[in-house]
Amino acid sequence: MYPHQDSLFIGGAWVTPHAQEKITVIGSSTEAVLGSVPHGDEKDMDAAVAAARAAFDDPDGWPAWSPARRAEALYRLADALDRRKEDITRTVTAQNGMTITVCEQVEGMLPGTLLRYYAGLVRDESFEEVRQGMLGSPVHVRREPLGVVAAIVPWNAPQLLSATKYAPGLAAGCTFVLKPSPEAALDSILFAEAVAEAGLPAGVINIVPGGRETGAYLVSHPGVDKVAFTGSTAAGRRVAEACASRLRPVTLELGGKSAAIVLDDADLDTAIAEPFFFATMLANGQACFASTRVLAPQSRYDEVVDAVATLAKGLTVGDPMDPATQVGPLASARQRDRVEGYIEKGKAEGSRLVAGGSRPAEFSHGYYVAPTVFADVDNSQVIAREEIFGPVLSIIGYTDETDAVRIANDSEFGLGGSVWTADEERGMRVARQLRTGTVGLNHYTVDPAAPFGGVKSSGLGREFGPEALLNYQQLKSIYR
């Protein structure tokens, strides 16, 4: 199924890896082997960085192309990805358990959308502005491409989270070394095939799958100019430390523990329905922005607990390839163990289990965990403080709006959040008080036209929107 799975895509060609080791990718619902890719080593990474460096340093190369010419190449890449949409979607779903209908949008459609969006933004740009200086002469302020980018992505949305980096980065004129994670490396072969078909110059995108050590080696590589990282907060800290000592620019999209604030005026029949499910348990809870702390007003506490428990119990758990499935398996045995560990902690800490709490009995294969809801959770408990990354919600009571905002903000993280109310103005008032990078009002759907990212331990910098171009540019002033 993956003809290039024994090679690495480096310098515009499929090359024999130096590494002997392989990454075997396991199906999340079947536990069967899906395929394998080379586990890149330091020599492979050196070759990839050298190729990206050569492509960037070529005086007539990618950064020297006009934005309009680069935009044409991005449109071609978007078309090449569209032609592989079904294979990409099925591969990602098989790997990480994201349900196929969600995967079609997130992994199949959005990367092409982002490429076309950034191509459209830069097509007519010169990235050079002439200002009247204070000394009587004009000053040219240029936005120049930053250089070679190390892009490191997790397994939960590998195509989208790569595209959030390469789409603005390529548009800005950077070149890339992409390191996919071991759990979701097969789809990167399909992406490389699209890059080859689109005819991007050799070395503009290079791909080396590998684990933590391979990633750490790339982050510290002398040939890299910028790091764009998505992953856990723990790994993000190590990446930030490595970049700090080299004064290397870095953007970090990290973990979350967002709050869904249900206000006391909410119509629970419409509020605690499908959009609430997407906001809290999208991708089987393996979404960084998921609102996994549900804040319920004391005046309507039992009603909210009933509504959320009923929603969770009514979800269709099953084969992620089946369009009727709402909740698929977790990505790996390791991830399921981790989530089950948190469920045990929740029980041990005395929270009241009102839905799920175990593996669904009907599946003999696959890393399934039933959608789980704990009520009577205190915000100081482990399940309310740490990111679980699975379909596990904690319901926490609050007294009034001020108390709800206080609890929502009492978190190490600040990535997403949502407010559920019949009064939009009131919802806006609450949303403005949340210390978080994004908030949804009666839904939570990331809009690529606006900046996305986190505050506090959820990250540094923003992806999406025109703002993301600045992640891949540096300013230069020429005084005349």
Question: Least Å distance between CB 92 and ligand NAD?
Answer: 13
* 243 among known catalytic residues: no
Start-to-end Cα distance in the chain: 58
Question: Least Å distance between CB 325 and ligand NAD?
Answer: 21
Cβ proximity to ligand NAD: between 297 and 465 the closer is 465
Exposed/middle/buried for residue 171 (C-beta within 10 Å: 0-12, 13-18, 19+): buried
Cβ proximity to ligand NAD: between 23 and 94 the closer is 23
* Cβ-proximal residues to 116 (8 Å cutoff; 6+ apart), any chain: 74, 75, 78
Options 104, 288, 340, 463, the catalytic residue: 288
Question: Least Å distance between CB 147 and ligand NAD?
Answer: 18
Cβ proximity to ligand NAD: between 211 and 360 the closer is 211
Please give the residue whose beta carbon sits closest to ligand NAD in the complex. Answer: 215
Contact residues: ligand NAD, CB under 6 A: 152-156, 161, 179, 181, 211-212, 215-216, 219, 230-232, 235, 238-239, 253-256, 288, 387, 389, 415, 454, 459
Question: Least Å distance between CB 64 and ligand NAD?
Answer: 30
Cβ proximity to ligand NAD: between 423 and 447 the closer is 447
Question: Least Å distance between CB 130 and ligand NAD?
Answer: 36
Alpha-carbon distance of 477 to 377, in angstroms, equals 54
Cβ proximity to ligand NAD: between 289 and 398 the closer is 289
Cβ proximity to ligand NAD: between 108 and 255 the closer is 255
- Within 13 A of 46's CA, how many CA atoms are on the CB side? 5
Question: Least Å distance between CB 75 and ligand NAD?
Answer: 26
Question: Least Å distance between CB 285 and ligand NAD?
Answer: 11
Cβ proximity to ligand NAD: between 201 and 211 the closer is 211
SS (H, E, C) the chain: CCCCCCCEEECCEEECCCCCCEEEEECCCCCCEEEEEECCCHHHHHHHHHHHHHHHHCCCCHHHCCHHHHHHHHHHHHHHHHHCHHHHHHHHHHHHCCCHHHHHHHHHHHHHHHHHHHHHHHCCCCCEEEEECCCCCEEEEEEEECCEEEEECCCCCHHHHHHHHHHHHHHHCCEEEEECCHHHCCHHHHHHHHHHHHCCCCCCEEECCCCHHHHHHHHCCCCCCEEEEECCHHHHHHHHHHHHHHCCCEEEECCCCCEEEECCCCCHHHHCCHHHHHHHHHHHHCCCCCCCEEEEEHHHHHHHHHHHHHHHHCCCECCCCCCCCCECCCCCHHHHHHHHHHHHHHHHCCCEEEECCCCCCCCCCCCCCCCEEEECCCCCCHHHHCCCCCCEEEEEEECCHHHHHHHHHCCCCCCCCEEECCCHHHHHHHHHHCCCCCCEECCCCCCCCCCECCCHHHEECCECCHHHHHHHEEEEEEEC
Question: Least Å distance between CB 160 and ligand NAD?
Answer: 9
Cβ proximity to ligand NAD: between 80 and 218 the closer is 218
Buried residues in 137-153 as b, exposed as e (16+ CB within 10 A):
eeeeeebebbbbbbbbb
Options 104, 183, 193, 253, the catalytic residue: 253
* 288 among known catalytic residues: yes
Question: Least Å distance between CB 49 and ligand NAD?
Answer: 14
Cβ proximity to ligand NAD: between 149 and 235 the closer is 235
Q: Which residues are catalytic?
A: 253, 288
